[in-house]
Copies of this chain bind each other. A is one copy, B any other.
């Protein structure tokens, strides 16, 4: 009976049937329309199709009761023809027969998913409505109106998630008489954050509305001192997105049998959102050359990316961390898993997975970029999902880190998590998956090493607070950041913090234990907000806590960096000296003009300054990262804010710079309002203005957002938003 497919015929002797891995593309001939009862050993030889006798019961209609089910299951927003429901909660089906039922009549419903559906694997579920026992989903007759029955069906809270085929089978004396295959009765079954028995149950209603139902959001970027916001359209309810999410699981060849397991689904998702290993959704690119695709900064949301992936079957170019996190968030919320995007500021990226980020300096104290391998990202975005962890000891459920940005050190494949946030906070790094890796991202020590003339390294400073300075996510119901650093870490220096650190070390996370003499001299750098195209001042404070006056021979090095901390261009070196009396502080203000940095920016907007100083036998150093602020787009909305009424939005912008903006590509969208629109300007001259109007017809009500992005060859990261509340 084996039906080997192309890839699996060397496995004939391993599987009785190929393991089904596709949900969307399965053959249509599940059953014979009439299935003779199969009681004997030789049934294979018996003819299987058999005409039913004329007097028997016949099914006239099957109604999936969308108007009733959708609001009950919080699935009205999905722009899709078929019923979408959440598991563990009853939904209704109205079946109309050819005549009223009599006590001798018997029938059952059958729900099938994937090829070769099997009752022992939950991919073929028989639902009965009388005393006769059925499968694991329960059924009851709620109402009888003549020949029409309203049936209540409750899938188990651990049912397979995906697209099921629905059949009604009438029991006759000799066999089962089934309805024909009817795609309009196909039904999507999702994870259910409202169901206490579901692994993704989230008790708080406001949180469910945010983390499952909110189809737009804000992702934080920049640095701790200068946090910026990027609006992102998740769009999980837009047309084609639910099928796209199932397509992703199909493309991953994840067995249908495993798709009810939230842990396996999110782990697989973290692998599939990036293209490495598996031709997943998005190609990572940190090169500054995006000519073979679209710049990561040019996307307004996930919808266009996911639809392009489904339509072409080819990974989409290009993403960086917030794009991976945004698309992954759509995938998760669309399937019903509570999810949010997280930003970790000063995120360590270590190649060996220990707790040391090594920054190497030359004998004269300047950065040795050639020998430095580790980097600290200005920020890094990942996702959290909310779920129980039955595979771990008690107390480690709740929020879990998953990360789809391709990170080569995560267990050798490009995926990460789910890693329990509580386990990270407690230093319990002995559990799956990848908790040690995430722990290092928020807890690494920064080791400043001096490389001597012979190539030997000696540590001269350890900064235990720089990495993981703050962990942010969007607040429930608003757009302000919620600081959740305390979810990941105990306060620096607390007893609990020490306990976590020593536990992490027990589990093999190598820490630095260099014995460094107490430094009497220190330096810090600060700066105000810095606008792109304007001069900036660095305030450098030298502190002398010793009893001798010190003369510091200092050096300022300025570079343009990627947000990953890697140097793009070096543009400035400046020597200076300062004498600091005993127990005093001495301030130096160092000016950098726009002229100095502008020509070195490329498309980056991030400046990196290092001050190093030598005073007798003492070395000091400090680092300051400055994100240059860009101008905004202005969005103006007009018209009656009501579902199905035409409205208008105008995007306007004036070039404030003294140079023209070239190849300006604008994109705009709003989940539930309009799909992606784009506009192109070959150049926007200095001081010139543009104005772009689009009309749209809102599909969904409630508070909604439009987001627009402008991406030029010589200026990225210009965006704007407009909020509007649509009435029903």
Contacts and interface: CB of A to CB of B under 8 A. Distances in A.
A221 to B, nearest CB: 15
Contacts of A677: none
Contact of A13 (B19, B370, B449, B562): B562
Interface stretch (A183-191, A357-365, A720-728): A357-365
Interface in A372-416: 372-375, 390-393, 408-409, 411-413
B13 A288 contact: yes
The contact size tier of chain A is: 35 or more
A40 interface: yes
A351 B456 contact: no
A119 B455 contact: yes
A10 interface: yes
Contacts of A39: 362-364, 453
Contacts of A507: 390-392
A431 interface: yes
A255 interface: yes
A100 interface: no
Interface stretch (A82-90, A126-134, A298-306, A475-483): A126-134
Given A16-B373, A370-B1, A564-B14, A287 B40 contact: no
A110 interface: yes
B566 A15 contact: yes
B429 A391 contact: yes
A45 interface: no
Contacts of A135: 456-457
A433 interface: yes
A490 interface: no
A124 B455 contact: yes
Contacts of A391: 429-430, 436, 507-508
The residue in A13, A264, A283, A364 that gathers the most chain B C-beta atoms within 10 A of its C-beta is A13
A448 to B, nearest CB: 11
B267 A412 contact: yes
Nearest to A371: B118
A254 interface: yes
Nearest to A561: B13
A668 interface: no
Mostly, the A contact residues are loop
Given A10-B287, A118-B373, A456-B126, A364 B41 contact: yes
A682 interface: no
A197 interface: no
Contacts of A392: 430, 507
**How many identical chains are in the complex?**
2
A578 to B, nearest CB: 18
A702 interface: no
Interface string A13-41: 11111010000000000000000011111
Interface in A167-200: 169, 171, 176
Interface in A434-484: 436, 449, 451, 453-458
A176 B454 contact: yes
Contacts of A453: 37-39
B408 A255 contact: yes
Interface string A500-524: 0000001110000000000000000
Contacts of A16: 369-370, 372-373, 375, 566-567
Contacts of A408: 19, 255
Contact of A362 (B43, B132, B283): B43
A121 interface: yes
A345 interface: no
Nearest to A451: B119
A33 to B, nearest CB: 15
A463 to B, nearest CB: 16
A10 B283 contact: yes
Contacts of A287: 9-13
B364 A126 contact: no
A286 interface: yes
A455 B126 contact: yes
A63 interface: no
A176 B254 CA distance: 56
A11 B284 CA distance: 8
A545 interface: no
A643 B476 CA distance: 78
Contacts of A353: 258
Contacts of A134: 454, 456
A252 B412 CA distance: 9
A340 B169 CA distance: 54
A573 interface: yes
A271 interface: yes
Contacts of A15: 373, 375, 566
A668 to B, nearest CB: 27
A402 to B, nearest CB: 14
A277 interface: yes
A601 B63 CA distance: 52
A223 interface: no
Interface string A227-270: 00000000000000000000000001011011000001001100
Given A13-B288, A16-B372, A169-B454, 7 more contacts: A10-B285, A41-B362, A128-B456, A255-B408, A258-B352, A391-B508, A432-B432
30 contacts: A10-B283, A10-B284, A12-B287, A13-B286, A13-B287, A13-B566, A13-B568, A14-B562, A14-B564, A38-B363, A118-B371, A118-B373, A119-B455, A120-B360, A124-B455, A126-B456, A132-B454, A169-B454, A171-B454, A252-B412, A255-B409, A271-B412, A277-B277, A390-B507, A390-B508, A391-B436, A391-B508, A392-B430, A393-B430, A430-B432
